[in-house]
Amino acid sequence: MAEDAPAKTNPMKDLSLIKLCVNCCVGESGDKLTRAAKVLEQLTGQQPVTSKARYTVRTFSIRRNEKIAVHCTVRGEKALEILERGLKVKEYELYHENFSQTGNFGFGVDEHIDLGIKYDPSIGIHGMDFYVVMGRKGFRVSKRKQKRSRIGIRHKVTADETKKWFQQQYDGVLMRGKPKNTSGRRGGKRK
């Protein structure tokens, strides 16, 4: 009889999506930045936050503390829905290099209209980065104010566990090699 019983799994070990960070960097402040903020607001339904440049880069004509990007943090069911749309654009294919050692992963989308947002000529087309933070029940002990403690080594999330979660949850495909540059804008050789 003991052989027929299913193996019990520890519910504290179940992986879950903690948050999804969506970042859209335009490289300059002004009208272009406000248009990117509108795109993020349409996608997430939240008011995005602006990010400032950390230091001056003369070749890109960026000054220190100039607002150059907008980002938004989404949690819960909305985060899962947006992640599903982003992975659909990538055809549920990610590279092993997309996953960090801490069990988080990220990828980029070149055009926001692929996510199901209607094209508006006044806004233009913007690319964005998705970064997914994974966690487990009990991670709060390292974040709380009182009686803060560390997470045990066996309870931490690893890249292999997140890859397995991605493959099971979304029937995802993990590819070898480095992510290819399809946009032609971020370095790489031009033809």
Residues 16-35 have pLDDT tens digits of 999 999 999 888 888 888 98
Confidence bin at 191 (pLDDT 50/70/90): very low
Report angle CA 38, 42, 46 to the nearest 5 degrees: 90
Give the pLDDT confidence score for residue 19 in this predicted structure: 94
Using the 8-state DSSP alphabet, how is residue 59 labeled? Answer: T
Give the pLDDT confidence score for residue 17 in this predicted structure: 92
For residues 31 and 55, what is the distance between their CA atoms, to the nearest angstrom? 21
Using the 8-state DSSP alphabet, how is residue 57 labeled? Answer: B
Give the pLDDT confidence score for residue 187 in this predicted structure: 53
Tens-place pLDDT, residues 33-91 = 898 899 899 889 899 999 888 888 888 888 888 888 999 999 999 999 999 999 998 88
Q: What are phi and psi of 127, to 5 degrees?
A: -95, 160
The dihedral formed by the CA atoms of 156, 159, 164 and 168, expressed in degrees to the nearest 10: 90
Q: What are phi and psi of 69, to 5 degrees?
A: -150, 160
Q: Which of 127, 137, 149, 132 is nearest to 98 (CA)?
A: 132
Give the pLDDT confidence score for residue 190 in this predicted structure: 47
152-157 LR contacts (CB < 8 Å, sep 24+): 155/12, 155/13, 156/102, 156/103, 157/15, 157/102, 157/103, 157/104
Of the segments 8-12, 59-63, 132-136, which one has the largest average pLDDT value?
132-136
Give the residue-averaged pLDDT of 86-103: 90
Top-confidence residue, 20 or 116: 20
